[in-house]
Structure 1
Protein backbone atom coordinates (compact mmCIF):
# COMPACT_ATOMS: atom_id res chain seq x y z
CA UNK A 1 0.00 0.00 0.00
CA UNK A 2 1.31 3.46 -0.88
CA UNK A 3 1.67 6.05 1.88
CA UNK A 4 -0.39 9.09 0.88
CA UNK A 5 0.35 11.32 3.87
CA UNK A 6 0.28 15.04 3.34
CA UNK A 7 3.58 16.64 2.42
CA UNK A 8 4.47 19.92 4.08
CA UNK A 9 7.26 22.23 2.93
CA UNK A 10 9.11 23.97 5.76
CA UNK A 11 11.94 26.45 5.88
CA UNK A 12 14.94 24.77 7.46
CA UNK A 13 16.18 24.90 10.19
CA UNK A 14 13.62 27.21 11.74
CA UNK A 15 10.47 25.13 11.78
CA UNK A 16 11.15 21.45 12.33
CA UNK A 17 13.62 19.29 14.22
CA UNK A 18 12.81 16.35 11.93
CA UNK A 19 13.86 18.42 8.92
CA UNK A 20 17.15 18.98 10.71
CA UNK A 21 17.84 15.28 11.04
CA UNK A 22 16.77 14.37 7.51
CA UNK A 23 18.50 17.08 5.47
CA UNK A 24 21.96 15.51 5.66
CA UNK A 25 20.59 12.19 4.41
CA UNK A 26 18.85 13.86 1.48
CA UNK A 27 22.01 15.75 0.54
CA UNK A 28 24.07 12.55 0.79
CA UNK A 29 21.66 10.69 -1.50
CA UNK A 30 21.67 13.59 -3.98
CA UNK A 31 25.46 13.76 -4.20
CA UNK A 32 26.01 9.99 -4.29
CA UNK A 33 23.47 9.62 -7.10
CA UNK A 34 24.94 12.53 -9.04
CA UNK A 35 28.47 11.15 -8.85
CA UNK A 36 27.21 7.73 -9.99
CA UNK A 37 25.36 9.31 -12.93
CA UNK A 38 28.56 11.13 -13.91
CA UNK A 39 30.35 7.77 -13.98
CA UNK A 40 32.30 8.53 -10.80
CA UNK A 41 30.43 6.31 -8.35
CA UNK A 42 31.75 6.22 -4.82
CA UNK A 43 30.89 3.70 -2.09
CA UNK A 44 29.87 6.22 0.54
CA UNK A 45 29.95 9.86 1.62
CA UNK A 46 33.66 9.63 2.49
CA UNK A 47 34.43 9.19 -1.21
CA UNK A 48 32.68 12.41 -2.25
CA UNK A 49 34.60 15.61 -3.05
CA UNK A 50 35.27 17.74 0.02
CA UNK A 51 32.80 20.48 -0.86
CA UNK A 52 29.97 17.94 -0.93
CA UNK A 53 31.07 16.25 2.29
CA UNK A 54 31.00 19.71 3.92
CA UNK A 55 27.35 20.21 2.90
CA UNK A 56 26.40 16.85 4.34
CA UNK A 57 28.35 17.12 7.58
CA UNK A 58 27.35 20.71 8.38
CA UNK A 59 24.48 22.05 6.27
CA UNK A 60 24.11 25.07 8.58
CA UNK A 61 27.60 26.27 7.71
CA UNK A 62 27.44 25.24 4.05
CA UNK A 63 24.19 27.08 3.39
CA UNK A 64 24.57 30.06 5.73
CA UNK A 65 22.68 32.97 4.19
CA UNK A 66 20.75 30.69 1.84
CA UNK A 67 17.17 29.50 2.14
CA UNK A 68 16.76 25.74 2.53
CA UNK A 69 13.32 24.22 2.09
CA UNK A 70 12.55 20.68 3.23
CA UNK A 71 9.49 18.61 2.34
CA UNK A 72 8.17 16.51 5.22
CA UNK A 73 5.83 13.54 5.04
CA UNK A 74 4.69 12.16 8.35
CA UNK A 75 7.54 14.03 10.01
CA UNK A 76 10.23 12.49 7.77
CA UNK A 77 12.31 14.61 5.39
CA UNK A 78 11.52 13.44 1.83
CA UNK A 79 12.77 16.31 -0.33
CA UNK A 80 14.84 19.47 -0.30
CA UNK A 81 15.95 22.49 -2.29
CA UNK A 82 18.45 25.26 -1.63
CA UNK A 83 17.88 28.82 -2.82
CA UNK A 84 21.18 30.67 -2.75
CA UNK A 85 21.27 34.18 -1.33
CA UNK A 86 20.43 36.83 -3.90
CA UNK A 87 23.26 38.62 -5.66
CA UNK A 88 22.27 41.60 -7.78
CA UNK A 89 18.60 40.59 -7.83
CA UNK A 90 19.39 37.04 -9.03
CA UNK A 91 19.30 33.86 -7.00
CA UNK A 92 20.25 30.28 -7.79
CA UNK A 93 18.44 27.04 -7.07
CA UNK A 94 20.59 24.08 -6.03
CA UNK A 95 20.13 20.57 -4.68
CA UNK A 96 16.50 19.97 -5.66
CA UNK A 97 16.01 16.37 -4.59
CA UNK A 98 13.16 14.04 -3.73
CA UNK A 99 13.70 10.71 -2.01
CA UNK A 100 13.15 8.14 -4.80
CA UNK A 101 10.50 6.34 -2.71
CA UNK A 102 8.40 9.52 -2.71
CA UNK A 103 8.71 10.53 -6.36
CA UNK A 104 5.62 11.05 -8.46
CA UNK A 105 3.72 12.82 -5.68
CA UNK A 106 4.43 16.42 -6.68
CA UNK A 107 7.08 16.98 -4.02
CA UNK A 108 9.67 18.48 -6.37
CA UNK A 109 6.99 20.73 -7.87
CA UNK A 110 5.92 21.86 -4.41
CA UNK A 111 9.49 22.61 -3.40
CA UNK A 112 10.17 24.48 -6.63
CA UNK A 113 6.92 26.45 -6.33
CA UNK A 114 7.78 27.45 -2.75
CA UNK A 115 11.35 28.35 -3.72
CA UNK A 116 10.22 30.61 -6.57
CA UNK A 117 7.52 32.25 -4.45
CA UNK A 118 10.01 32.92 -1.66
CA UNK A 119 12.52 34.37 -4.11
CA UNK A 120 9.88 36.69 -5.58
CA UNK A 121 8.78 37.80 -2.10
CA UNK A 122 12.43 38.52 -1.32
CA UNK A 123 12.74 40.88 -4.28
CA UNK A 124 14.63 38.55 -6.60
CA UNK A 125 13.99 39.28 -10.27
CA UNK A 126 15.36 36.05 -11.74
CA UNK A 127 16.40 32.60 -10.62
CA UNK A 128 18.93 30.41 -12.34
CA UNK A 129 20.00 26.79 -12.00
CA UNK A 130 22.15 24.18 -13.63
CA UNK A 131 21.16 20.60 -14.30
CA UNK A 132 22.90 17.65 -15.94
CA UNK A 133 21.61 17.05 -19.47
CA UNK A 134 20.68 13.43 -18.72
CA UNK A 135 18.17 14.53 -16.07
CA UNK A 136 15.45 15.01 -18.65
CA UNK A 137 12.64 14.74 -16.09
CA UNK A 138 14.13 17.58 -14.07
CA UNK A 139 14.63 19.70 -17.19
CA UNK A 140 10.99 19.16 -18.15
CA UNK A 141 9.91 20.17 -14.64
CA UNK A 142 11.96 23.36 -14.82
CA UNK A 143 10.54 24.19 -18.25
CA UNK A 144 6.99 23.79 -16.89
CA UNK A 145 7.89 26.44 -14.31
CA UNK A 146 9.12 28.87 -16.98
CA UNK A 147 12.85 28.17 -16.97
CA UNK A 148 14.59 28.49 -20.33
CA UNK A 149 18.04 27.34 -21.38
CA UNK A 150 20.54 30.17 -21.22
CA UNK A 151 24.21 30.73 -21.86
CA UNK A 152 26.33 28.66 -19.53
CA UNK A 153 28.09 30.23 -16.55
CA UNK A 154 29.68 26.89 -15.71
CA UNK A 155 32.37 25.22 -17.79
CA UNK A 156 31.49 21.63 -16.94
CA UNK A 157 30.53 19.55 -19.97
CA UNK A 158 26.96 18.26 -20.24
CA UNK A 159 25.64 20.82 -17.77
CA UNK A 160 22.55 22.74 -18.88
CA UNK A 161 22.11 26.25 -17.47
CA UNK A 162 18.58 27.63 -17.17
CA UNK A 163 16.96 30.83 -15.93
CA UNK A 164 13.49 32.04 -15.04
CA UNK A 165 12.06 35.50 -14.42
CA UNK A 166 10.05 35.59 -11.17
Structure 2
Protein backbone atom coordinates (compact mmCIF):
# COMPACT_ATOMS: atom_id res chain seq x y z
CA UNK A 1 0.00 0.00 0.00
CA UNK A 2 1.15 3.51 -0.82
CA UNK A 3 -0.12 6.43 1.20
CA UNK A 4 0.06 9.99 -0.11
CA UNK A 5 -1.65 12.36 2.29
CA UNK A 6 -5.31 11.53 2.17
CA UNK A 7 -4.99 9.08 -0.75
CA UNK A 8 -4.04 5.43 -0.28
CA UNK A 9 -3.19 3.16 -3.22
CA UNK A 10 -4.26 -0.40 -2.44
CA UNK A 11 -4.43 -3.66 -4.35
CA UNK A 12 -7.94 -4.77 -5.17
CA UNK A 13 -9.79 -6.79 -3.99
CA UNK A 14 -9.06 -6.55 -0.36
CA UNK A 15 -10.64 -3.46 1.10
CA UNK A 16 -14.25 -4.56 1.47
CA UNK A 17 -17.38 -3.96 -0.54
CA UNK A 18 -17.05 -0.17 -0.74
CA UNK A 19 -13.85 -0.45 -2.77
CA UNK A 20 -15.45 -3.06 -5.02
CA UNK A 21 -18.53 -0.95 -5.63
CA UNK A 22 -16.30 2.08 -6.12
CA UNK A 23 -14.18 0.24 -8.67
CA UNK A 24 -17.25 -0.57 -10.74
CA UNK A 25 -18.29 3.07 -10.58
CA UNK A 26 -14.86 4.24 -11.72
CA UNK A 27 -14.80 1.73 -14.57
CA UNK A 28 -18.30 2.81 -15.62
CA UNK A 29 -17.24 6.47 -15.68
CA UNK A 30 -14.11 5.58 -17.67
CA UNK A 31 -15.95 3.58 -20.31
CA UNK A 32 -18.91 5.96 -20.64
CA UNK A 33 -16.56 8.93 -21.08
CA UNK A 34 -14.42 7.03 -23.59
CA UNK A 35 -17.43 6.06 -25.71
CA UNK A 36 -18.58 9.69 -25.65
CA UNK A 37 -15.13 10.92 -26.72
CA UNK A 38 -15.09 8.40 -29.57
CA UNK A 39 -18.39 9.86 -30.79
CA UNK A 40 -20.32 6.75 -29.76
CA UNK A 41 -21.99 8.03 -26.57
CA UNK A 42 -24.23 5.54 -24.78
CA UNK A 43 -26.83 6.39 -22.15
CA UNK A 44 -25.71 3.93 -19.47
CA UNK A 45 -23.61 0.89 -18.61
CA UNK A 46 -26.20 -1.46 -20.11
CA UNK A 47 -25.54 0.03 -23.55
CA UNK A 48 -21.74 -0.35 -23.42
CA UNK A 49 -20.10 -2.88 -25.73
CA UNK A 50 -20.20 -6.36 -24.14
CA UNK A 51 -16.50 -6.43 -23.22
CA UNK A 52 -16.63 -3.12 -21.37
CA UNK A 53 -19.96 -3.83 -19.72
CA UNK A 54 -18.48 -7.08 -18.37
CA UNK A 55 -15.59 -5.15 -16.77
CA UNK A 56 -18.02 -2.82 -14.99
CA UNK A 57 -20.48 -5.49 -13.86
CA UNK A 58 -17.94 -8.12 -12.82
CA UNK A 59 -14.42 -6.71 -12.50
CA UNK A 60 -13.34 -9.72 -10.42
CA UNK A 61 -13.85 -12.01 -13.42
CA UNK A 62 -12.80 -9.51 -16.09
CA UNK A 63 -9.46 -8.88 -14.40
CA UNK A 64 -8.97 -12.28 -12.77
CA UNK A 65 -5.40 -12.61 -14.07
CA UNK A 66 -4.45 -8.95 -13.73
CA UNK A 67 -3.52 -6.63 -10.87
CA UNK A 68 -6.03 -3.91 -10.07
CA UNK A 69 -5.00 -0.91 -8.00
CA UNK A 70 -7.52 1.44 -6.42
CA UNK A 71 -6.88 4.89 -4.99
CA UNK A 72 -8.93 5.48 -1.85
CA UNK A 73 -9.75 8.70 -0.05
CA UNK A 74 -11.01 7.30 3.22
CA UNK A 75 -13.44 4.59 2.07
CA UNK A 76 -14.19 6.29 -1.26
CA UNK A 77 -12.63 4.87 -4.44
CA UNK A 78 -11.30 7.89 -6.37
CA UNK A 79 -9.01 6.29 -8.95
CA UNK A 80 -8.13 2.98 -10.53
CA UNK A 81 -5.63 1.30 -12.81
CA UNK A 82 -5.21 -2.22 -14.18
CA UNK A 83 -1.84 -3.89 -14.79
CA UNK A 84 -2.03 -6.93 -17.05
CA UNK A 85 -0.41 -10.15 -15.96
CA UNK A 86 3.23 -10.30 -17.05
CA UNK A 87 3.93 -12.03 -20.36
CA UNK A 88 7.51 -12.37 -21.59
CA UNK A 89 8.68 -9.75 -19.04
CA UNK A 90 6.09 -7.24 -20.29
CA UNK A 91 2.89 -5.85 -18.78
CA UNK A 92 0.41 -3.25 -19.92
CA UNK A 93 -1.24 -0.47 -17.92
CA UNK A 94 -4.86 0.18 -18.77
CA UNK A 95 -8.07 1.69 -17.41
CA UNK A 96 -6.31 4.54 -15.59
CA UNK A 97 -9.07 6.78 -14.29
CA UNK A 98 -9.29 9.43 -11.60
CA UNK A 99 -12.61 10.82 -10.41
CA UNK A 100 -12.89 14.36 -11.82
CA UNK A 101 -13.13 15.92 -8.34
CA UNK A 102 -9.75 14.37 -7.43
CA UNK A 103 -7.80 15.35 -10.54
CA UNK A 104 -4.74 17.51 -10.11
CA UNK A 105 -3.87 15.91 -6.75
CA UNK A 106 -1.33 13.38 -8.04
CA UNK A 107 -3.68 10.38 -7.88
CA UNK A 108 -2.86 9.19 -11.41
CA UNK A 109 0.88 9.60 -10.82
CA UNK A 110 0.63 7.60 -7.59
CA UNK A 111 -1.33 4.85 -9.32
CA UNK A 112 1.26 4.61 -12.08
CA UNK A 113 4.09 4.64 -9.55
CA UNK A 114 2.46 1.81 -7.62
CA UNK A 115 1.92 -0.10 -10.87
CA UNK A 116 5.57 0.28 -11.85
CA UNK A 117 6.68 -0.90 -8.41
CA UNK A 118 4.45 -3.95 -8.73
CA UNK A 119 5.85 -4.66 -12.19
CA UNK A 120 9.40 -4.48 -10.85
CA UNK A 121 8.49 -7.00 -8.12
CA UNK A 122 6.99 -9.28 -10.79
CA UNK A 123 10.15 -9.21 -12.93
CA UNK A 124 8.61 -7.11 -15.69
CA UNK A 125 11.17 -5.23 -17.76
CA UNK A 126 8.85 -3.15 -19.98
CA UNK A 127 5.46 -1.56 -19.36
CA UNK A 128 3.31 -0.51 -22.27
CA UNK A 129 0.08 1.40 -22.56
CA UNK A 130 -2.19 2.84 -25.19
CA UNK A 131 -4.05 6.12 -24.88
CA UNK A 132 -6.50 7.91 -27.17
CA UNK A 133 -4.66 10.65 -29.04
CA UNK A 134 -7.17 13.31 -27.95
CA UNK A 135 -6.31 12.69 -24.30
CA UNK A 136 -3.40 15.09 -24.50
CA UNK A 137 -3.21 15.62 -20.73
CA UNK A 138 -2.82 11.87 -20.23
CA UNK A 139 -0.15 11.64 -22.95
CA UNK A 140 1.74 14.50 -21.25
CA UNK A 141 1.46 12.77 -17.86
CA UNK A 142 2.81 9.52 -19.26
CA UNK A 143 5.70 11.35 -20.91
CA UNK A 144 6.55 13.10 -17.61
CA UNK A 145 6.61 9.65 -15.99
CA UNK A 146 9.12 8.29 -18.51
CA UNK A 147 6.88 6.71 -21.14
CA UNK A 148 7.80 7.31 -24.78
CA UNK A 149 5.72 6.95 -27.91
CA UNK A 150 6.51 3.72 -29.74
CA UNK A 151 5.35 1.88 -32.82
CA UNK A 152 1.69 0.98 -32.50
CA UNK A 153 0.68 -2.56 -31.61
CA UNK A 154 -3.00 -1.71 -32.04
CA UNK A 155 -5.05 -1.46 -35.23
CA UNK A 156 -7.07 1.52 -34.01
CA UNK A 157 -5.51 4.59 -35.58
CA UNK A 158 -6.59 7.00 -32.84
CA UNK A 159 -4.45 5.27 -30.22
CA UNK A 160 -0.99 6.36 -29.18
CA UNK A 161 1.12 3.45 -27.94
CA UNK A 162 3.76 4.19 -25.33
CA UNK A 163 6.21 2.20 -23.23
CA UNK A 164 8.97 2.52 -20.69
CA UNK A 165 11.51 0.33 -18.99
CA UNK A 166 10.83 -0.64 -15.39
TM-score range, shorter chain: over 0.9
In the alignment, what sits opposite 1:158?
A: 158
Look up the SS of the partner of 1:33 in the other structure.
helix
The Cα shift of 1:15 comes to 3.5
CA RMSD in angstroms comes to 0.9
2:45 counterpart of 1:50: no
Give the paired residue count. 162
Matches of residues 12-161 of structure 1 in structure 2 within 5 Å? 12-161=12-161
User: How far is the alpha carbon of 1:43 from its aligned partner?
Assistant: 0.6
Q: 2: distance between equivalents of 1:147 and 1:35?
A: 25
Could you tell which deviates more after superposition, 121-130 or 16-25? 16-25
Q: Take 2:17 and 2:44, find their aligned partners in 1: how far apart are those partners?
A: 25
Secondary structure of 1:54 counterpart: helix
Q: If the length of structure 2 is used for normalisation, what is the TM-score?
A: 0.95
Task: Name the stretch that deviates more: 15-24 or 94-103.
Answer: 15-24
> How far apart are 1:82 and its partner, in Å?
0.1
In structure 2, distance between residues paired with 1:105 and 1:17: 25
Task: Report the 3-state secondary structure (helix = DSSP H, G, I; strand = E; otherwise coil) of the residue aligned with 1:156.
Answer: coil
Q: State the 4+ residue runs in structure 1 displaced beyond 3 angstroms.
A: none
Distance 2:139 2:16 in 1: 30
Return the alpha-carbon distance in structure 2 between the equivalents of residues 146 and 29 of structure 1.
27
Deviation of 1:47 after TM superposition, in Å, equals 1.1
TM-score normalized by the length of structure 1: 0.95
Which digits, 9 at most, give the CA deviation of each residue in 1:115-150, with x for residues without a partner? 011101110000000000010110011111111111
Q: Contact conserved, 1:10 with 1:16, CA < 8 A, in 2? A: no
Per the TM alignment, residue 17 of structure 1 is displaced from its structure 2 partner at its CA by: 3.4
Which structure 1 residue ranges, 5 or more long, are not aligned? none
Residues of 2 paired with 1:16 and 1:93: CA distance? 24
Q: Could you say which residue in structure 2 is the equivalent of 1:8?
A: 8
Which runs of 5 or more structure 2 residues have no equivalent in the other structure? none
Q: Please say if residues 8 and 71 of structure 1, whose CA atoms lie closer than 8 Å, have aligned partners that are also in contact.
A: yes
